[in-house]
Structure 1
C-alpha cells in the first residue's frame, strides 16, 4: 500500500495545523522558532528529507512525557513501528516535548498498569490501550477521567460512535480511540465454487466437500488465551443468542446457546474439517495451515496484512476475499470489534503533555498515517477520507466492521474471566468425554466465586 501523499503533506500540514489546534497551556510563551530537518524512512518507499521552518508555541521549559506502546521502534521491517517512530520525531520537533518511549507487550499493558496502580509506582503519561481493558482498569483505579481534559479540543466532537462505545464508561471518558479494528474471515475464492458459506450448516456441508479434496474449511486461533474468546468464540456465542457477561459484568456463558456452539465446533474438529492446531497452537499456528495451502480460509483481523504472509498479495490479486462470519440463530455475522486507544493513567505526572500528544495524534493527517499503517479505520471521518484508505480493502473492511462489529461485553474482571473460559473451551474441544454444560458451569462458578464476592 502506497502513501505517496503522506510523506510531504503530513509533515507540512501537521506542523502548520498543530500550532492552531493545540490547547494553550498556562503560562505559555513563544519560546523559539523551530527549524527542523525530518528524515522520514518508509518501507518500500525512498527516504524523503523535508525541511520546514515553523513557529511552535511551547512552554518555557516543557516537561518530557513517558509513552507506552507495543512497538519495537528499532524494527525497520515493521511498518507500524516505523510509522510511530516517525510521528514521535515529528511530535518532539513540533512541540519541543521530549518523549521517553517504553515498549510494553500488548497483552501486558493493562496488567502492568493495574499492578502499578496498586503498588503506587510511577505511571506513564500516556499509553496505548485496547478498549476492552477500560472497565477493569477503571475498577483498579489505573485510568484518569479525561472528560474535562479534552472537552475543549477541536477533534473530540468529531469522534465516531465507535469511540464513545470504546472509551466512555459509566458516563466518563477514559481514553481516546485513534482507530477501530476487528476480526475478519478471509477465504480463497477458488476453493469455494458454491460461494463462501455463511451459516453453521453450510460450514459442515462445505467442510465435507473440502475434506475430500484434502483441505480444511478454515483455520483460526482458539487456544488458551482470552483473545480466543474475543476473536473466535465470543462472536459465535453472541450470534447464537448467548452472552459471555451479564449486565453487571459477571460471567454468563454457561447456557444452552454456548453449548450449541461448542457442539458445532466439536463436529467440525471430529470430522477433520478444521485442524486441531486451532486449539493447541499459538496465533501463528492458527494461521499456518492457510499460509501452507492446507486451509481454504483463515480467521484473522483487519490487521492481518501485518502478520499473515501472502495475504495482502492475494487480496490485491482478487484470489482471496473478505467473507462474512457464520451467522447462528440470531442471523448476525458478528465479528470482534476493538478500539485502539490512547489513555492517560491516573496520577500521570504530565497530563498537559499527554494532552499535547492527543492533539498531535488526532489531527487528521497524522491520524490517517497512523491508522493506515496499523490497518485500522480512523475514528474521524476527515482522516478516513485520505487517499491512504481509497481501496476496496478498506471500504469492505469498514463496511464489515460497521455492520457486524461488536465490542465484547464489559467486565471489571475481563481478562481473568475470558482466560478461564478459553481454557474451559479448549478442554472441551480436546476431550470429547467432557460434558459441555457441566464444564462451562464449573468454569463460570469458579470465576464468580473468586472475583465476584
Structure 2
C-alpha cells in the first residue's frame, strides 16, 4: 500500500540501468563520476547551460500534473516562462522507458523520480549534478529540509531538487477500537509484545478466512521503518548496505510474527490486496484493518470517507525508547545527461519547488476544499520555509478531532524523519531487501534472507564504487 508501485519501478531500475548505461556510451551518457561539462551542465559548451532565459520545448517524464496542487504550480511556471512549451504526458516515472530513451541518446529533459534511486542514476552518469543549476536559478537550498537534500547528495554533489516530504504515522479505525474498549494509545511501536497482543485481540477470522486484521505491519514495503524503530538504518552514511544488521534482522523477525499471528502471509496478503484504499470501501472505513503505518498524503484521501462513517485516530510511530521516528520518502526533479533543454529543465525544477509557488498551490488547495465544503489537511513539502508559511497562513483545526490528531501527528514527525543516505547502488540495495523480505515471508529465516540480500547489495555497491 502506498509505495508498492515505487518499489516495482526501483526493481526495474536496478535490473536495467547498468545495461542501459553500457549501451549509451556513444550516445553521450558517461560512466561513474563523469560530470557534464565538468560542472553539471549538459549543454557541452563549457559554460553554464542552466543560465539564461528558458525557451523552446521542455519534455518531462513522470509528472502527470493532474490535481489542483500540481496544476497551480504548472500555471506559475508557464506564466513566468511563456516561451517554454511544456510536454508532460500523464503517468508515473517509467524506469524501463527512461533507460531505453537514455540508451538511444534521446532522454527527456527532466525526470520526476523517487529520491531513493537518484544515487544509482548519479553514480552511472545518467543524471547530472545540479551545482550550476542551483547557482543559475539562485536556489536557496537552505530553505529545503536537510534530510531531503542529503538523500539527493552523492559524493558532495546535489543531483536533484526535492519536492514532497512523505512521512508516516499509525492511522487507526477509531470506531473498531471503541467497540472493543481499546484506547488508541495501545496502537504503539515502543512495546512490541504489547502491540502483538493488541493486534491479535483485534484480529478476527472465520476458519481460514480473515475478517479483520488488528494491525498491519505493511510488509514488505515497511521493512526499513521496522528496522529504524529497532535502531537500525539499512543504508549506512556513505551509501553502503547494512541489511543484515542484527537489529534489522530482529525487526523483520518481529514484523513477520505479526503477520503469522493474523492468518499467515498467504491469507493475509490476499485479504489486504482485496481492498481499494482510495474509495469508501477502504479498510479503515469498513473496519477490516484496524491500524497500519501510513503516509501523510493519505489523510487527504480519507477525508472523503467521512460521510461513509469513517472515524479516524492516529498515533505517532516511535522507536523502542519512545522517541518519534519515521522513514522519509518523496520524489525529486533530476536532469538526465544529454538533456536537450537543460535551461528550461532547471528553471522548472526551481520554480516548482519555490516558496512562492508552493503558496500558490496552497491557495488552490484551499479553494478546492471550500468548493467541496471540506477542510485543509496540510501540504507537506521538502521546502521547510514554504511548509511553515502554509501552515501559519492556512491551517485551521479540522472539524473532526481524529483528523486533527492525525494531521498534527504528521507535522510533529517532520523534523525527526530519516531518509536513507544516497547510495551509488541505491536501486540495487532496494531490490535486494525487498526480495529478502519476500523470501522471509515465504518461510526462509530472516537471518538467511537478509544475509543473502547483504551479499548481493554489497557486491553491487562495490561495483558501483569502482
TM-score between the two structures when normalised by the length of structure 2: 0.69
Instruction: Measure the CA separation in 2 of the matches of 1:369 and 1:274.
Output: 47
Instruction: Measure the CA separation in 2 of the matches of 1:274 and 1:315.
Output: 33
**For the structure 1 residues 70 and 155, does the alpha-carbon distance in structure 2 shift closer, same or farther, using more than 3 Å as the test?**
closer
Let me know the Cα RMSD of the aligned residues.
3.6
**Contact (CA 8 Å) 1:219, 1:274: kept in 2 or not?**
no
Query: Equivalent of 2:344, from 350, 353, 372?
Result: 353
**For the structure 1 residues 394 and 85, does the alpha-carbon distance in structure 2 shift closer, same or farther, using more than 3 Å as the test?**
same
Tell me, yes or no, if structure 1 residue 193 matches structure 2 residue 177.
no
**Match of residue 146 from structure 2:** 161
**For the structure 1 residues 136 and 115, does the alpha-carbon distance in structure 2 shift closer, same or farther, using more than 3 Å as the test?**
farther
**For the structure 1 residues 121 and 435, does the alpha-carbon distance in structure 2 shift closer, same or farther, using more than 3 Å as the test?**
same
Query: Equivalent of 1:102, from 86, 89, 109?
Result: 89
**For the structure 1 residues 167 and 278, does the alpha-carbon distance in structure 2 shift closer, same or farther, using more than 3 Å as the test?**
farther
**For the structure 1 residues 286 and 300, does the alpha-carbon distance in structure 2 shift closer, same or farther, using more than 3 Å as the test?**
farther
The count of aligned residue pairs is: 376
**Contact (CA 8 Å) 1:166, 1:338: kept in 2 or not?**
no
Tell me, yes or no, if structure 1 residue 129 matches structure 2 residue 113.
yes
**Match of residue 335 from structure 1:** 326
Tell me, yes or no, if structure 1 residue 423 matches structure 2 residue 435.
yes
**Match of residue 414 from structure 2:** 401
Query: Equivalent of 2:426, from 390, 403, 414?
Result: 414
**For the structure 1 residues 246 and 93, does the alpha-carbon distance in structure 2 shift closer, same or farther, using more than 3 Å as the test?**
closer
Instruction: Measure the CA separation in 2 of the matches of 1:194 and 1:396.
Output: 13
**Structure 2 spans left out of the alignment, 5+ residues:** 1-47, 206-210, 366-377, 398-403
**Match of residue 68 from structure 1:** 61
Moved more, 163-172 or 442-451: 442-451
Instruction: Measure the CA separation in 2 of the matches of 1:264 and 1:238.
Output: 13
**Match of residue 216 from structure 2:** 219
Instruction: Measure the CA separation in 2 of the matches of 1:159 and 1:121.
Output: 32
Q: CA deviation at 1:234?
A: 0.4
**Contact (CA 8 Å) 1:326, 1:333: kept in 2 or not?**
yes
**Match of residue 443 from structure 1:** 453
Instruction: Measure the CA separation in 2 of the matches of 1:247 and 1:163.
Output: 14
**Match of residue 301 from structure 1:** 295
Q: CA deviation at 1:357?
A: 1.7
Instruction: Measure the CA separation in 2 of the matches of 1:193 and 1:98.
Output: 55
Three-state SS of the structure 2 residue aligned to 1:64 is: strand
Tell me, yes or no, if structure 1 residue 344 matches structure 2 residue 324.
no
**Contact (CA 8 Å) 1:178, 1:362: kept in 2 or not?**
yes
Q: CA deviation at 1:401?
A: 2.4
Instruction: Measure the CA separation in 2 of the matches of 1:388 and 1:275.
Output: 43
Instruction: Measure the CA separation in 1 of the matches of 2:273 and 2:357.
Output: 30
Tell me, yes or no, if structure 1 residue 320 matches structure 2 residue 312.
yes
**Match of residue 401 from structure 2:** none
**For the structure 1 residues 412 and 390, does the alpha-carbon distance in structure 2 shift closer, same or farther, using more than 3 Å as the test?**
farther
**Contact (CA 8 Å) 2:244, 2:451: kept in 1 or not?**
yes
Query: Equivalent of 1:175, from 154, 160, 178?
Result: 160
Matching of residues 131-146 of structure 1 within 5 Å: 131-146=115-130
Query: Equivalent of 1:366, from 349, 357, 363?
Result: 357
**Structure 1 spans left out of the alignment, 5+ residues:** 1-23, 29-57
TM-score between the two structures when normalised by the length of structure 1: 0.71
More strand by share: 1
Instruction: Measure the CA separation in 2 of the matches of 1:441 and 1:233.
Output: 15
